[in-house]
């Protein structure tokens, strides 16, 4: 089966598992805190942009919450849908990372850009694990920082492997290598703006 079809199928299953009864769980204390901070940022960005630092918590998640609060009447639904969206973006990256790691471990070259390569068993397992994991199913339905941070972690891991492959493959241009380094730096910066105390460990991935 083409990998593209697997991605569409996995994202569809992911949304089926995550969206129903999005407000079924009662609001958590942390959710109410983040939503309150986001409301302050939305009302007065200049004064409250770094209000989360009083806890202290890095501000990126609160900034994104502030952007989506005005999209619906219920701020809790808007905040939880942000986490669902972050997970939906992370899922294709996770599938791609699993496939890339398998090819790297087996010594195979990456697929050519033409056509749609077939999905491997490893990629199928990665998709199934991501969609059915109880922990992910819980955290990606809450207006918490974990879903966004997972997206950044997967992006950092995938870009780190891509950078390593770019230096290993002789045909890779210097411009592509620089582009990958820039994207990796942006992903690391976003992670530090999301959960700084844990992000230091991620600095070892490119090494």
Contact 25, 142 (CB under 8 A): yes
Mean of all residue pLDDT scores within the chain:
89
When pLDDT is cut at 50, 70 and 90, the band that residue 199 belongs to is: low
d(CA 118, CA 116): 7
User: pLDDT category, 88, cuts 50, 70, 90?
Assistant: very high
Q: How many CB atoms lie within 10 A of CB 32?
A: 14
Q: Is 86 helix (H, G, I), strand (E, B) or coil?
A: helix
What's the pTM? 0.90
Q: What is the pLDDT of residue 175?
A: 82
Residue spans per domain, the chain:
3-108+116-204
Question: Quick count: other Cβ atoms within 10 Å of Cβ 83?
Answer: 27
Q: Are 137 and 13 in contact (CB under 8 A)?
A: no
pLDDT of residue 154: 95
What is the token pair recorded at 28?
């958590």
Given pLDDT bands bounded at 50, 70 and 90, which one contains residue 143? very high
Q: Is the pLDDT of residue 123 over 90?
A: yes
Segment 49-67, tens digit of pLDDT = 999 999 889 999 999 999 9
pLDDT of amino acid 205 = 64
Q: How far is CA 70 from CA 35, 60, 81, in A?
A: 12, 17, 13
């Amino acid at each position: 089966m083409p990998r593209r079809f697997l991605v569409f199928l996995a994202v569809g299953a992911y949304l089926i598992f995550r969206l129903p009864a999005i407000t079924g769980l009662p609001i958590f204390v942390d959710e109410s805190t983040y939503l309150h901070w986001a409301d302050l940022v939305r009302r007065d960005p200049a004064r409250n942009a770094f209000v989360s630092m009083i806890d202290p918590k890095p501000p990126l998640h609160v900034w994104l919450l502030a952007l989506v609060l005005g999209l619906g009447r219920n701020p809790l639904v808007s905040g939880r849908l942000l986490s669902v969206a972050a997970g939906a973006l992370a899922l294709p990256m996770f599938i791609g990372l699993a496939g890339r790691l398998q090819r790297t471990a087996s010594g195979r070259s990456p697929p050519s850009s033409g056509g749609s390569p077939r999905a491997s068993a490893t990629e199928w397992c990665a998709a199934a694990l991501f969609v059915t994991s109880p922990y992910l199913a819980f955290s990606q339905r809450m207006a918490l920082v974990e879903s966004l941070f997972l997206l950044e972690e997967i992006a950092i891991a995938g870009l780190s492997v891509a950078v390593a492959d770019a230096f290993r493959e002789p045909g890779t241009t210097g411009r592509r290598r620089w582009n990958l380094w820039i994207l990796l730096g942006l992903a690391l910066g976003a992670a530090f703006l999301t959960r700084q105390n844990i992000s230091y460990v991620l600095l070892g991935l490119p090494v």
